[in-house]
Amino acid sequence: MALKYEEVIVKYEPALGLEVHVELGTASKMFCGCNTVFGAAANTQTCPVCLGLPGALPVVNGKAIEYTIAIGLALNCSIAPYSRFARKNYFYPDMPKNFQTSQYDEPICTNGYLDITIDTDEGSKDFRIEIERVHMEEDTGKSLHMGGEAGRIHGADYSLLDYNRAGIPLVEIVTKVVNGCGKYAPEVARAYVSELRDILRGLGVSDVKMEQGSLRCDANVSLRLIGSEKLGTRSETKNVNSLKSVERAIRSEMIRHAELLNSNQRVIQETRHFHEDTGLTTSGRSKEQAEDYRYFPEPDLVPIAPSKELIAKIASTLPEKPSVRRKKLQEAWQVPDKEMAAMINADVLDLVEATVKLGADPTRARSWWLGEIARIANEKSVAAADLAISAADVAEVIALIVKGELTDKLARQVVEALINGEGSVAKIIETRGIKVVSDDSSLMAAIERAIAAAPDVAEKVRGGNIPAAGALIGAVMKESKGQADAAKVRDLLLKHLGQG
């Protein structure tokens, strides 16, 4: 019964709006000195300020402002010479002051853009995503709803509050309405978030881990009949926790909207939650009755007025754009377009680069990250970067292969063991007893046993039938359980039989 995506795009034109929240990687919170390390015991990273105790006052984290300016500059935005924080007032238990200190009508960065390229069947296509604003705000605490339906506030017996996250600096990057993507809308959105993530990572302002929530994307989607000017009613999908989900969530919403519109039903303006398992969204809070946040300028903070010198200084230290960097890498490594795209899609470009920087050959580095490691990551449904194997590990393994101390087959065992968390490369080789058997005397003993077991074959080789040696080499390899270096065995055997 469900519509096919192809049926949606022949009739409707999508419009997107993407709101990306990024947790900045500052050492301390937005308005106090509390630590920001992820995963600490509940409520241990709090103080009077981020708990909103009576009398406590905020002080802006200067580093957070510098990071935000850097983001704005990287996204080609204008940096406001004067901007202010505002209070967004609403009651919620995980918000200690019952207002969020945010930016409202005076954001620090405005009017930028980000160019992206997607790979399609019709060749690569370029899109310019216009950025409306980049602004700062503080994160809220976390509510844990106990009892009742898993994790939902409805029917819960009680809730636990953890304020460690309260006051973590957040940057919100909001696009203007993105039109003209047509059927590529889901891929465009994904490429935008991916490119944005690479930029943020390159700037070093956030660890941009979608799975841990340090980068979150809310996707606004609406449809209108092709040829129509008037935008349709939008839905806002939250809980989109991976790049793949960005694409899936938008595709799913486009189909859902089209089904409603086709049957003359209204699309409700609401927040929806994306579910990884089903690939579908469910209704959240309705936004038909817009909440009145009673924004007003935060009187506890003074306006932000970055000097021209500061902005120039930040601009001068911006790293090169990911697109430029990718081009340089591609040239340096002599990689075809398809391979390059594969690395970007598998999100291993940084890892390959780091591995090469540690002395590995680009081709070998690429084939490990894109081959064996990507395969395991895929099996485990995690990002390659989150596996317990580092660029340094891979570089070390490659170096051992080059030196002949590991065969490809043994190297795969080492890589698997690394990912299983069995320790360092050296430790794994030692405890698993992995080593290329290259000790001549023990190899010779094995060769002699092979010859003794098949004297007729040895005779053929002595007589000049070199290919016949394969059977003897095979026997030696089998005895050594693959640990012998096949090339070495061949050399020794042929010499021994007078053919070396």
Amino acid at 488: K
C-alpha–C-alpha distance, residues 408 and 223, integer Å:
52
Q: List residues bridging with 216 in a β-sheet.
A: 21
- Judged by CB, which is closer to another protein: 93, or 470? 93
CB closer to another protein out of 53 and 225: 53
| Residue keyed to tokens 């994160």 | 139
Pairing state of beta strands 296-297 and 270-274? unpaired
Q: Toward another protein, which CB reaches closer, 48 or 470?
A: 48
Minimal distance in Å, beta carbon 19 to another protein?
A: 21
Q: Considering beta carbons, is residue 65 or 384 the nearer one to another protein?
A: 65
In the bound state with another protein, the residue whose beta carbon lies nearer, of 96 and 322, is 96
Compute the least distance from the CB of residue 296 to another protein, in Å: 6
Q: Collapsing DSSP states into helix, strand and coil, what is residue 166?
A: coil
Whole-number Å distance between alpha carbons of 462 and 472: 12
How many Å is the maximal CA-CA distance in the chain?
97
Beta strands per DSSP E along 279-419 = 281-286, 296-297
What is the SS3 assignment for 224?
strand
293-307: b (≥16 Cβ within 10 Å) or e = eeeeebeebeebebe
Helix (H, G, I), strand (E, B) or coil at 303: coil
Query: Which lies closer to another protein via its Cβ, residue 60 or residue 399?
Result: 60
Instruction: Report the interface residues with another protein, using CB under 8 A.
Output: 48, 51-60, 87, 89, 91, 93, 96-99, 159, 161, 292, 294-296, 299-302
Q: At its nearest, how many Å lie between another protein and the CB of residue 61?
A: 11
Q: Which is nearer to another protein, 211 or 291 (CB)?
A: 291
Shortest distance, position 110 Cβ to another protein, whole Å: 22
At closest approach, how far in Å is the CB of 59 from another protein?
5
Structure tokens at 225: 């009949």
Kindly state the smallest distance separating residue 349's Cβ from another protein, in Å: 42
146 and 160 Cβ atoms separated by less than 8 Å: yes
**What DSSP state is assigned to residue 336?**
-
CB of 301 to another protein, least distance (A): 5
Instruction: Strand 12-23: give its sheet, edge to edge.
Output: 78-79, 109-120, 123-138, 169-175, 12-23, 215-225, 235-240, 270-274, 281-286
